[in-house]
A and B are shown apart, each in its own frame.
Chain A
Amino acid sequence: MKINKFAKLGAVAMLSAVFLAACGSKDSSSKQVLNWDETAELPTMDLSKATDRVSFDALNNTNEGLYRLGKDSKIEPGIATKTTVANDGLKYTFNLRKDAKWSNGDKVTAKDFVYSWQRTVKPSTGSQYAYLFSGIQNADDITAGKKSASTLGVKAEGNYKLVVTLDKRVPYFKLLMGFPSFYPQSQKAVDKYGSKYGTASKYMVYNGPFELTKWTGSNLSWTLKKNNDYWDKKNVKLSAINYKVNKSNSTGYNLYQSGKLDMTYLNSEQAKQLADSKELVIRHGASTFYLEYNQTKKEFQNKKIRQALSLVINRKQFTGKVLGDGSTVAKGLVASDMAKHNGKDFADDAYVKDATANDVTKAKKLWSEGLKELGVKELSFALLSDDTDKAKDSTEFLQSQIEENLAGAKVSVSNVPFKTRLDRSVKGNFDVVVTAWSADFADPISFLDLLTSDNSYNNGKWKNAEYDKLIESSKSTNAGNTTKRWNDLVQAHKVLMEDQGISPLYQQANATMLKSKVKGVIYNAAGVNYNFKDAYIK
Chain B
Amino acid sequence: MLRSLAALLLLSAAALADTADGEALKAMGWDQIVNEARGGTVNWFMWGGADNINAYASDYIGTALKRDYDITLNRVPITDAAEIVNLILSEKEAGVTDNGTVDLIWINGENFRSMKEAGLAFCGYTSLLPNDALVDWDNPAIANDFGVPVVGCEVPWNTVQFAFAHDSAVLAEPPRDMAGLLAWIRANPGRFTYPAPPDFTGSAFVRHVFIHAAGGPEGLLGPFDQVKFDAVAGKTWAILNGLEPFLWREGATYPTTVTQLNELFANGEVAFSFNYDPAQFGLAVQAGLWPETTRSFGLRDGTIGNTNYTLIPFNSPNKAAAMVTQNLLLSGEAQLEKARTEIWGAAPAIEISRTPPAVQAGFAAIKTHPSVIPASELAKSALPELQAGWLTAIEAGWATNVGN
Is chain B a partner of chain A in the same complex? Answer: no
- Report which B residues bind A (CB closer than 8 A): none
- Report which A residues bind B (CB closer than 8 A): none
